Chain A
């Protein structure tokens, strides 16, 4: 069996080494000086009581520069009367790829426009993947995501569930609340009693 001799492929952007790089030792020394310099600089910062690293100590520190569109913790919006806007249609729970949303629907005969409401609305943040599909799926704009992260570090996975009251009560500073659209003519405004 004949075999073609191996020819090393020449790439268009192949780096060329000069004599200095070929000598090898000076470049090693340069590398050691760079890393050693970084070490001394950072060590100097640590010794003088400053922080010599780019890392954020997560539970103790949180970053301030989350992007404006960051998908973080969920917000349940409210109607002007304070009741949750959620109609317990379960669309978010259905679309959720991590299956972290659990909704238990209740019946409210007093509110003819929105007879269904969530008795329980729970999100398990230990499994949430922050994909934002629940926000996309919601027909009522009842669930949004604020840019702040949930910030629930814990050694106990049951401490990472947030319920209806926490999600409703949480008022993120960054949430630009859209005003509830005015009721079309001839219909009762939400929350207005019959």
Chain B
């Protein structure tokens, strides 16, 4: 029981530090990648001077994120005179918390057996092993959608309680857009659920560690390439980033539903957006890119297509899986940033048309085709 608690605390600490780390580092990656993509240098002036020396650490502008965070903490926390200040104060947290909670069901590694990592740990943990996932739930994907749906409430709450027309209009835009794309998001994943026959994310990852046709890794993107692109597009729209950042419109709606927020409350909205990039990356990795496993890899080691197998010690497997997961998530995040700095944004009616008249039918068609093929293969 105590061992369970310790493991759970370790996993929670890991997950929170990973998400916070991604949120912080992505603000820097976004700037630098955008700069490199457009032949610029990017932010590189903030530095930390070592005390009592003239040594200035610049580190390619990494400290700009710290400077921004400090700025947001130290700014005046302006409060509008609103009739519902409680909702106003709680809204950023309603946006921020579910984003973190989604990560609870995402497996970020295979199975962890502390006794095999380091022999003296056996005295405390015994020979038990734990899946590297905060909450091992059968209903994994359903939890993901349940929590990610909560952010809509936060956005609506923020817009409503600000007593500002622009905020309210921005919140309406955000709400209708997020609800539309949530539907598409769920429909694109239904095909995967049909193929894997489960909504448990850990089982889904394990099913992806085999091969198709003898050599291709059995990743979701190989089975469902079309659904993968739809999923990514819908997820970016759900996150309200360019090309779908319609709740924000400087000339008409100012900053949309967080117009009236300043200082760290606004920072929370921004931070939630950046963490959600990482969450989308983690979901995409888990569903379509084989999760924490390298190609041909499982908890036992590598099983190469030629029939050769390489067994790995438990510690090496755990480290490889953790690193692989982080790397894949980072690459997907980077791809999202590439999209954000490449595509021009839609008009608002085009966003909803795109969701309902283009992506929704395509997702349905994908689902029907998948269902027929799965039925034909199983029969």
Contact = CB atoms under 8 A, between A and B. Distances in A.
A15 to B, nearest CB: 14
Contact of A53 (B33, B39, B338, B343): B39
Interface string A89-118: 000000000000000000000000000000
B37 A53 contact: no
B41 interface: yes
Contacts of B343: 28, 31
B341 interface: yes
A35 interface: yes
Interface stretch (A39-47, A138-146, A178-186): A39-47
B153 interface: no
B342 A38 contact: no
A2 interface: no
A43 B36 contact: yes
A46 B40 CA distance: 11
Contact of B342 (A31, A42, A43): A31
Contacts of A34: 342
B37 A38 contact: yes
Contact of B39 (A28, A31, A54): A54
Contacts of A159: none
A34 B39 CA distance: 13
Contacts of B35: 53
B78 to A, nearest CB: 29
A193 interface: no
A32 B37 contact: no
B37 A35 contact: yes
A32 B36 contact: no
B28 to A, nearest CB: 15
A7 to B, nearest CB: 19
A39 B41 contact: no
Contacts of A54: 39-40
A52 interface: yes
Contacts of A57: 41
Nearest to B37: A39
Given A28-B343, A31-B343, A39-B33, A55 B338 contact: no
B338 A38 contact: no
A46 B36 contact: yes
A36 interface: yes
Contacts of A31: 342-343
B36 A35 contact: no
A53 to B, nearest CB: 5
A39 B40 contact: no
Which of A35, A36, A46, A55 has the most C-beta atoms of chain B within 10 angstroms of its own C-beta?
A: A35
A42 B42 CA distance: 13
A57 B37 CA distance: 18
B115 interface: no
B341 A55 contact: no
Contacts of B36: 39, 42-43, 46, 52-53
A87 B33 CA distance: 56
Contact of A42 (B39, B338, B339): B39
Nearest to A31: B342
A39 B30 CA distance: 12
Nearest to A28: B343
A43 B39 CA distance: 10
B341 A38 contact: no
Contacts of A39: 33, 36-37, 338
Contacts of B41: 53, 55, 57
B38 interface: yes
Interface string B34-72: 011111110000000000000000000000000000000
Contacts of B341: 35
B40 A55 contact: yes
Contacts of B37: 35, 38-39, 42
Nearest to A37: B37
Nearest to A36: B338
Contacts of A52: 36, 39
Contacts of B338: 32, 35-36, 39
Contacts of B40: 53-55
Contacts of A36: 338
A32 B339 CA distance: 7
Nearest to B60: A46
A55 B38 CA distance: 10
Task: Give 7 closest A-B pairs by Cβ, nearest first.
Answer: A35-B342, A39-B37, A54-B39, A42-B36, A53-B41, A55-B41, A31-B342
23 contacts: A28-B343, A31-B342, A32-B338, A32-B339, A32-B342, A34-B342, A35-B37, A35-B341, A35-B342, A36-B338, A38-B38, A39-B33, A39-B37, A39-B338, A42-B36, A42-B39, A43-B36, A52-B36, A53-B35, A53-B41, A55-B40, A55-B41, A57-B41
Given A28-B343, A38-B38, A57-B41, 16 more contacts: A31-B343, A32-B338, A32-B339, A32-B342, A35-B338, A38-B37, A39-B338, A42-B36, A42-B37, A43-B36, A46-B36, A52-B39, A53-B39, A53-B40, A53-B41, A54-B39
